[in-house]
Amino acid sequence: MFWPDTISKKLNIKYPIIQAPMFGVSTPQMAAAAARAGGLGSLAIADLSAEKAVELIREIKKLTDQPFAVNLFAHNIPEVTEILKEKYIRTKYFIEQLARENHLEVQLPDLSDLKANGYQELVEAVIEEGCKILSFTFGNLDDKSIQKLKENGVTLIGTCTSVEEALILEKSGIDMICVQGIEAGGHRGSFNADNIPKIGGISLFSEVYNHVKVPLIYAGGIYNGRTLRAAKELGAEGFQVGSMLLASQESALQPFEKERLKNVTEKDIMLTRSFSGRYARGIRNKFIETLEYSEHILPYPYQNKLTNELRRVAKTMNNTDFVGIWTGQSIHDYNEASTEEILTNLIRDSEKTN
- Judge whether 308 lies within some domain: yes
Cα–Cα nearest to 13, from 25, 4, 24, 22: 4
- Judge whether 95 lies within some domain: yes
Does residue 57 share a domain with residue 111? no
Does residue 159 share a domain with residue 286? no
- What's the burial of 224, exposed, middle or buried (CB within 10 Å: 0-12/13-18/19+)? middle
- Report the chain (354 residues): mean pLDDT per 10 consecutive residues: 95 98 97 98 97 98 98 95 98 98 96 93 97 98 98 98 98 98 97 94 97 98 96 97 98 97 95 97 98 96 97 97 97 95 98 75
Does residue 104 share a domain with residue 184? no
Q: How many domains does the chain have?
A: 2
Does residue 298 share a domain with residue 196? no
pLDDT at 1: 80
Sign for the pseudo-dihedral over CA of 246, 249, 254, 255 = positive
- Ramachandran angles phi, psi of 153, nearest 5°: 70, 30
- Judge whether 5 lies within some domain: yes
- Judge whether 169 lies within some domain: yes
* 63 in Cβ contact with 43 (< 8 Å): no
Does residue 189 share a domain with residue 66? yes
Does residue 212 share a domain with residue 200? yes
- Judge whether 329 lies within some domain: no
β-pairing, 17-19 with 133-137? unpaired
pLDDT at 161: 98
- Judge whether 330 lies within some domain: no
CATH at residue 144: 3.20.20.70
Does residue 156 share a domain with residue 127? yes
pLDDT at 230: 96
pLDDT at 242: 97
- Judge whether 344 lies within some domain: yes
Q: The domain containing residue 183 runs over which residues?
A: 1-77+116-249+335-354
pTM over 0.85: yes
Does residue 237 share a domain with residue 101? no
Does residue 340 share a domain with residue 313? no
Does residue 122 share a domain with residue 36? yes
β-pairing, 186-187 with 155-160? unpaired
Does residue 170 share a domain with residue 280? no
Give the whole-angstrom CA distance, residue 54 versus residue 67.
Answer: 16
Give the whole-angstrom CA distance, residue 156 versus residue 147.
Answer: 11
Does residue 159 share a domain with residue 305? no
